[in-house]
Structure 1
Amino acid sequence: MNFEPYPFEKLTNLLENIQPNKGYFPSVLTIGEPQFETPDFIQKALAKNAALLKKYPKTTGESVLREAQRNFISKRFEVALDDTQIIPTFGTREVLFNFPQFLLFDKKEPVIAYTNPFYQIYEGAALATRSKVIHLNLSERNNFKPEIDEDELAKCDLVILNFPNNPTTATLSLEELGDWVKLALKHDFVLLNDECYSEIYTNKPTPSLLEAALHVNNIAFKNILVINSISKRSSAPGLRSGFIAGDATILEEYMKYRTYIGCASPLPLQYAAAEAWNDEEHVAKSRAVYKENFQIAKTILGTKIPDATFYLWINVGDALEFTKRLYKNYNVKVLPGEYLAREDAKGENPGKDFIRIALVESPQKTKDALIRIKECLNEQR
């Protein structure tokens, strides 16, 4: 298998011969990793349950964790699930890589469609399953929402959406998600929405694909799945706590598959994660910080405040040259958008000319970095 280097490796290669301006403190705005302390009550729960390391964890997850995750879905999205409709996972990256391998194993010529730009694990899963890929381009022309081509979708076995979207920050309404549910039923493909940014919204809570399924009367969630995690929500990526939820028929067989791949979460992590899933107060505090960062960006850069995520997706012209100049002159790292996307069948890379900025630092550090970015932008005008 010939996997592409990850975007951060490409960035390292792009900048390796550049000496940054030592007159500035380094600012790294490349990775979607919250730079805040994991809330104290989560850390205490982890320490309290450390003695459980002596026990093997069950692949199905502890009941306390499954219940916490189902409660989260119920309170946040008003969707009631039973235990057959959810599986706790070791974060979501492993699911995005191994679920397509499970789902597409018996397909002779599998086809996967996913949003472009994308989280690179989608591409890795396509390579691992020898799937043909259909890119659902997200561009300014379509307001960063995937255009629907039913002739193409009719060929698909699996379609992966990612809304709220990384990196474009776009969201889909309940009605728009409902249209995708109808397409999954009409053309009999499995539709999975990566909802890891669902809790990082700036004003109105964003909808889930599960809500949309109920909205269009798909009460059994046939062909419908979502994934989510607490990495962004709780500033706890190291807990590796996520879930996949939806179609019970699919999940029943996927659960059997998971017993072989050895990715059960250690028990102390599960108990700490349960505390995190059950609490909303700490999430509201994080949202307030991210919203403040967006307000700062609006003041300094004139950018709009997006509905969700903690990213800025900005057209800077030649993004590779801008990224190098920003690092050399101002000691700030950002990520070129073309590293997060691929050329489609027409030779178009929808990430070209864009940079992604992760606003994951404190407001003061964010302000300092954005002022430098503004100065760099002014240089090229």
Structure 2
Amino acid sequence: MHGSRLDRLGEFPFRRLAGLLADRVPPAGRPVLDLGIGEPQHPVPPILAETVARHAASWNRYPPPTGTPSFRQAVAGWACRRGGLPEGALDPGRHVLPVAGTKEALYLAAQLAVDRAGRSRPAVLMPTPFYAVYYGAAAMAGAEPVLLPATVATGFLPDLDAIPAETLARTAAFYLCTPANPQGAVADRAYLARALALARQHGFALFLDECYSELWDRTPPPSGLDVALNDTGSLERLLVFQSLSKRSNAAGLRSGFVAGDPALIRAFAKLRAYAAPVQPLPLMAAAEALWNDEAHVEANRALYRQKFDLAEQRLAGRFGFFRPPAGFFLWLDVGDGVAAASRLWTEAGLKVLPGAYLDGPEPISGAYLRLALVHGLDTTADALDRLVATLASPAATARPDRAALAKGR
């Protein structure tokens, strides 16, 4: 195994964080608060358990790899409603594929794209900072992960015009997270159309990770499926990844879907038949019920807005604070993210993730911390108060180039 692709991968971010904190002890007498991992703590919609119970008789059946017709119909209907598409614009049988959570789907997608591209020295593009699965997927598929800086200077999205022509010519896939993890930046319609145009011009697949799209603050982010069909007239070269983990506080359900280019969906279904788990029928029925219900999502968004109100009250003018357009993370400039994470653990019992752990081999986010505002209001207020008390610094003037982020890009 020495020198293998796996050996060349760094540790997963949360394993790195565990290593950082392993020999450090949080203060006694106050509860530890974990804002490191983006695991929603809001109430689980009751319809989840109720639906699973109603379908208990199907636990003894193998589920179909492409999902039930009713699940695919529910997803296609939701995606059309969400994107303002005409009813029937998405064919449930050709455009939709269920997945056991989008983590496995995003990982397998790189194998699909690299295999189909047939490029020498294939490249897989991704923003940095990034969801670590993109990097691992590209590396294990035998491609070069090409990291595109997504900094305050670029509105926290990659600068598409800065990608070298030589890189585009050998690109097999482009992972783009919008709303972005960790910064919450939103790609606007023009940006998405431009990314699609590049994918079609250079023959690569565009993978849009939209798992945070339903946790918007003021304005719904544009849907990639909507932009593809209404603005470019085609789903060619596009796969959109969606999940119930954040939208419905159902991370343990392990349910999501992939939708888009029917040729890619067909190939993906073939690959998953060999390599991926299939969601049990009672859980698929529960997922179907969740995609058909918006009331719990609206309540979920309202809770996150309240927490961002709290964050704005306590952090405005500090640590480069900005209110993200979507998602549930804070991306704070604390000067040295690793040192700050260590201090917050040992002095405040607060677990947060250093920004550098979301970068590749050459970190560009070393100044940042990522905080997941996934707990209730009281816990969030306590965590923010601990952070300020520990890392207190003179109020800083807001940086003008952050203002564009609030409007999306």
Q: Please, what TM-score do these two structures have when normalized by structure 1?
A: 0.95
Aligned to 1:81: 90
Report the Cα offset of residue 378 of structure 1.
Answer: 1.0
Q: Indicate yes or no: 2:166 matched with 1:162.
A: no
Alignment of 1:34-53 (within 5 A): 34-53=40-59
Alignment of 1:1-381 (within 5 A): 1-2=6-7, 3-79=9-85, 80-82=89-91, 83-105=93-115, 107=118, 108-148=120-160, 149-151=163-165, 152-217=167-232, 219-302=233-316, 303-343=321-361, 347=362, 349-378=363-392
Q: Give the whole-Å Cα distance in 2 for the aligned partners of 1:197 and 1:248.
A: 24
Q: Give the whole-Å Cα distance in 2 for the aligned partners of 1:111 and 1:142.
A: 22
Q: Give the whole-Å Cα distance in 2 for the aligned partners of 1:352 and 1:304.
A: 18
Give SS of 1:45's match: helix
Q: Please, what TM-score do these two structures have when normalized by structure 2?
A: 0.89
Q: Give the whole-Å Cα distance in 1 for the aligned partners of 2:104 and 2:24.
A: 35
Report the Cα offset of residue 220 of structure 1.
Answer: 2.8
Give SS of 2:72's match: helix
Report the Cα offset of residue 327 of structure 1.
Answer: 0.9
Report the Cα offset of residue 201 of structure 1.
Answer: 0.4
Report the Cα offset of residue 105 of structure 1.
Answer: 2.2
Report the Cα offset of residue 51 of structure 1.
Answer: 1.9
Q: Give the whole-Å Cα distance in 1 for the aligned partners of 2:131 and 2:47.
A: 30
Residue identity matched to 1:206: P
Report the Cα offset of residue 306 of structure 1.
Answer: 1.2
Residue identity matched to 1:244: V
Please say if residues 231 and 240 of structure 1, whose CA atoms lie closer than 8 Å, have aligned partners that are also in contact. yes
Give unpaired runs (5+ residues) of structure 2.
1-5, 396-409
Report the Cα offset of residue 322 of structure 1.
Answer: 0.8
Give unpaired runs (5+ residues) of structure 1.
none
Q: Give the whole-Å Cα distance in 2 for the aligned partners of 1:356 and 1:247.
A: 34
Deviations 1:203-238 (A, max 9, x none): 110012212212432x23111111001100000011
Q: Give the whole-Å Cα distance in 1 for the aligned partners of 2:49 and 2:253.
A: 10
Deviations 1:64-111 (A, max 9, x none): 111111111011112321020111111111111112212222534321
**Number of positions where the alignment pairs a residue of Structure 1 with one of Structure 2:** 376
Report the Cα offset of residue 262 of structure 1.
Answer: 4.3
Give SS of 2:115's match: coil
Distance 1:166 1:262, change over 3 A: closer
Report the Cα offset of residue 192 of structure 1.
Answer: 0.9
Aligned to 2:3: none
Give SS of 1:367's match: helix
Report the Cα offset of residue 256 of structure 1.
Answer: 1.9
Work out the percentage of aligned pairs sharing the same amino acid.
Answer: 36
Residue identity matched to 1:92: T
- In terms of mean alpha carbon deviation, does 9-18 or 282-291 score higher? 9-18
Residue identity matched to 1:97: Y
Deviations 1:234-257 (A, max 9, x none): 000111111111111121122122
Alignment RMSD (CA, Å): 1.5
Q: Give the whole-Å Cα distance in 2 for the aligned partners of 1:115 and 1:366.
A: 28
Give SS of 2:246's match: coil
Q: Give the whole-Å Cα distance in 2 for the aligned partners of 1:254 and 1:360.
A: 32
Please say if residues 174 and 211 of structure 1, whose CA atoms lie closer than 8 Å, have aligned partners that are also in contact. no
Q: Give the whole-Å Cα distance in 1 for the aligned partners of 2:368 and 2:69.
A: 44
Q: Give the whole-Å Cα distance in 2 for the aligned partners of 1:150 and 1:78.
A: 35
